[in-house]
Amino acid sequence: MARVESSRRLGLRVPLSFAVLRAGVPGILAPPPRSCHGFSHMPYIPHSDPDREEMLSRIGAPSIESLFECVPASVRFPELDLPPGLSEIDVRREMESLAGANYSAADGPCFLGAGAYYHFVPAVVDAVLRRGEFYTAYTPYQPEISQGTLQTVFEYQTMICALTGMEVSNASHYDGATATAEAVITAINVHRLKRRKVVVSPWVHPEYRAVVRTYTQGMGLHVVGDVHSGPMAPASTLEALGEQVDGDTACVIVQYPDFLGRIEDLSDVAEAAHEAGALLVVVADPIGLGLLKPPGEYGADIVVGEGQGLGAGLTFGGPYLGFFATRDKYVRRMAGRLVGQTVDAEGKRGFVLTLSTREQHIRREKASSNICTNQGLIALAAAVYMAAMGRRGLRELSELCYHRAHYAADQIDQLEGYTVLREKSFFKEFAVRCRRPVKAINACLIDEWGILGGYDLGRDYPHLQGHMLVCVTEMNPREDIDLLVEALGDACGA
């Protein structure tokens, strides 16, 4: 039905029989049918020659080839060495075979986190997302016909602000990494490009730090981080970070809880940043904020993070959701979509896009970011999730993750050959020193026990070779944790 409605808006002719095939009954919204194997049917959109001719005439193009004249002729239509085409039956069989080779978090116990988390997604989230009014929606420039979409975005922003302790939120960024990079650009613009130093904690997600450097290359920024010594960072990591802040620092970036799952008081680093006139950027776990003190109460100026855990699911890596919240005084430096509440001519409550000049496509060559319309559907998933969970439900979820993670840590710590690093309190992730290489242990876990093990910290921190980052969420009951402990102690040669 969504495809039909989209085609009608383009002025295309769609047979009624096609609408019936897609929706079951004309005029009734329904999700796409599912095959007996659980896979959604492949969409079929018929474009006849008259359809294509009409579309080309509408845009004033003589042919499809003319649409690509701006591409150099040498690379415009390259010869591709492709195998012969397949029938629809053969394609379906091949795709189902490939999909069947995957081993997902739902197929067995999963203790892998490190930025992408296996959390429960209530059925109501998918039920709302599948409504055609939402999954066909684009940027709601016309408020008179977009009140539903605008309100969901407004509610999302409101809940993100309540969760982070900030005053304004956009909706949204591609993922947590790009949201972090956008926070750097916001900080640079707040200081009118006069400050060029960015201080990043080494315990911010390694991929986020890499994206920050890639995103800002060519801007003349100096990105620095704390220097480690010894097997673990010293207890004064945040203090050492604060010592690197000076009058040229635009922002300081820390993670909360950090990449190892540790919880720290951010007050001192916030004070150090603000004394130097820099902004404090906090990369936060939204699930953890159901239990932990909001970054806004520590004095954070910008709070960003990955919202995948808020109803998006793992989905083999995306699409994900980067949330971004800040102080009201920085709102005009913030990229992304922003919805506000107002009243119409009759005094009725309504919703509109506000600060539309901040939309990057309007600014064109003056834009400071390429972020504009993106991830709106995943922001909706987060809004439905947070509304369904409520304040109490989110806190109970956070407590469940916390207590199960600590139960797992206590059990693993009793195994010979394993030591849980406990120099600080932690939320749902913790580091474990292992006697054998983590890669070998994980291979044993998946091959012999069907368990997705933890993250190999040696991949990003050379001084943490032989250390595994274990993640425990509400999806890991005690039976799964006990099985992991047994597997670590027996099959993995503790």
Q: Does 262 fall in a domain?
A: yes
Please give the chain's pLDDT, 494 residues, in tens.
333 333 223 333 333 332 332 333 333 333 344 344 444 455 666 788 899 999 999 999 999 999 999 999 889 888 889 999 899 999 999 999 998 888 999 999 999 999 999 999 999 999 999 898 888 777 787 888 889 999 999 999 999 999 999 999 998 899 999 999 999 999 999 999 999 999 999 999 999 999 999 999 999 999 998 544 334 444 447 888 888 999 999 999 999 999 999 999 999 999 999 999 999 999 999 999 999 999 999 999 999 999 999 999 999 888 999 999 999 999 989 888 889 999 988 999 999 988 765 556 666 677 767 666 556 889 999 999 999 999 999 999 999 999 999 999 999 999 999 999 998 899 999 999 999 999 999 999 999 999 999 999 999 999 999 999 999 999 999 999 999 999 999 866 54
Q: What is the pLDDT of residue 151?
A: 94
Q: Is residue 453 in a domain?
A: yes
Q: How high is the pLDDT of residue 234?
A: 41
Query: Looking at residue 475, what is its pLDDT?
Result: 97
Last residue of a domain, one of 71, 90, 121: 71
Query: How high is the pLDDT of residue 47?
Result: 84
Residue 85 lies in a domain: no
* Residue 417 resides in a domain: yes
Q: Give the strand pairing for 467-471 and 455-456.
A: antiparallel
Model pLDDT, residue 77: 86
* Residue 83, domain member (yes or no): no
What pLDDT shows up at residue 41?
Answer: 53
* Residue 96 lies inside a defined structural domain of this protein: no
Quick one: pLDDT at residue 135?
A: 80
Residue 347 lies in a domain: yes
Residues 259 and 148 in one domain: yes
Name the domain count of the chain: 3
One domain for residues 315 and 338? yes
Helix axes 206-215, 176-190, angle to 10 degrees: 50
327 and 447, same domain (yes or no)? no
Q: Are residues 361 and 239 located together in one domain of the fold?
A: yes
Within this chain, do residues 276 and 347 fall inside the same structural domain, yes or no?
yes
**Domain containing residue 241:** 129-386
HEC secondary structure over the chain: CHHHHHHHHCCCCCCHHHHHHHHCCCCCCCCCCECCCCCECCCCCCCCHHHHHHHHHHHCCCCCHHHHCCCCHHHHCCCCCCCCCCCHHHHHHHHHHHHHCCCCHHHCCECCCCCCCCCCCCHHHHHHHCCHHHHCCCCCCCHHHCHHHHHHHHHHHHHHHHHHCCCEECCCECCHHHHHHHHHHHHHHHCCCCCCEEEECCCCCHHHHHHHHHHCCCCCCEEEECCCCCCCCCCCHHHHHHHCCCCCEEEEEEEECCCCCECCCCHHHHHHHHHCCCEEEEEECCCHHHCCCCHHHHCCCEEEEECCCCCCCCHHHCCCCEEEEECHHHHHHCCCCCEEEEECCCCCEEEEECCHHHCHHHHHHHCCCCCCCCCHHHHHHHHHHHHHHHHHHHHHHHHHHHHHHHHHHHHHHCCCCEEECCCCCECCEEEEEECCCHHHHHHHHHHHHCCECCEEHHHCCHHHCCEEEEECCCCCCHHHHHHHHHHHHCCCCC
CATH code of the domain covering residue 425: 3.90.1150.10
Q: Indicate whether 241 and 300 sit together in one domain.
A: yes
At 136 the pLDDT is: 77
pLDDT in the model for residue 492: 60
pLDDT score of 376: 83
CATH value at residue 316? 3.40.640.10
Residue 209 lies in a domain: yes
